Amino acid sequence: MRKLIIMAAIAIVATGCEQDKGYYLNGNIEGVENGTNVYISEISDETRRPEVIDTVQVENGKFEADLEENEGPTMAFISIEGLNGNIIYIAENEEINIEAYKDSLRSSRITGGKENRALSQYMDHLKETNRKVMAGRNEMREAYSAQDTVKLESLQAAEDEIRDNDAVSKKKIFKENKDSYVSLMILMDMLRMKAYPVKEIKEMYNEIPENLQNTAIGQDLKETLEKQDAVAIGSKAPNFTAPTPEGEKLSLKDAMGEVTIIDFWAAWCKPCRAENPNVVKIYNKYHDQGLNIIGVSLDRPGQKDKWLEAIEEDGLEWQHVSNLQFWQDPVAQLYNIRSIPATFILDENGEIVARDLRGDELEAKVDELLN
Confidence (pTM): 0.77
Please identify every stretch of the chain with a pLDDT value under 50, giving residue numbers as ranges: 1-20
Q: What is the pLDDT of residues 220-279, one digit of tens each?
A: 999 999 999 999 999 999 999 999 999 999 999 999 999 999 999 999 999 999 999 999
272-290 pLDDT, tens digit per residue, is 999 999 999 999 999 999 9
Q: What are phi and psi of 73, to 5 degrees?
A: -65, 150
> What is the predicted pLDDT for the residue at 12?
34
Residues paired with residue 357 on neighbouring β-strands, in sequence order: none
Tell me the CATH number of domain 2-110, given options 3.40.462.10, 1.10.10.10, 2.60.40.1930, 2.60.40.10.
2.60.40.10
CB of 207 within 8 A of CB of 288?
no
For residue 16, the model assigns a pLDDT of 40
| Fold (CATH) for 241-370 | Glutaredoxin (3.40.30)
Looking at residue 45, its pLDDT comes to 80
How many angstroms separate the CA atoms of 41 and 307, rounded?
Answer: 44
Q: Give, as one character, the DSSP assignment of residue 337.
A: -
Bridge-based pairing of strands 319-321 and 291-297 is parallel
Instruction: Return the pLDDT at 161.
Output: 96
Pair 298, 333: CB distance under 8 Å:
no
Query: Please, where are the H alpha helices in the chain?
Result: 2-19, 114-145, 149-176, 182-193, 198-205, 210-213, 216-230, 252-255, 270-286, 304-314, 330-334, 359-370
Task: Give the pLDDT confidence score for residue 21 in this predicted structure.
Answer: 61
Q: What is the phi-psi region of residue 317: left when phi exceeds 0, alpha when psi lies from -120 to 50, beta otherwise? A: alpha
Asked if the domains 2-110 and 241-370 are classified in one and the same CATH topology, the answer is: no
Residues 6+ apart with CB under 8 A from 91: 23, 42, 67, 70, 73, 74, 75, 76
Domains of the chain, by residue range, sit at 2-110, 116-230, 241-370
Q: CA-CA distance, 98 to 95, in Å (whole number)?
A: 10
Say what the pLDDT of residue 9 is.
Answer: 38
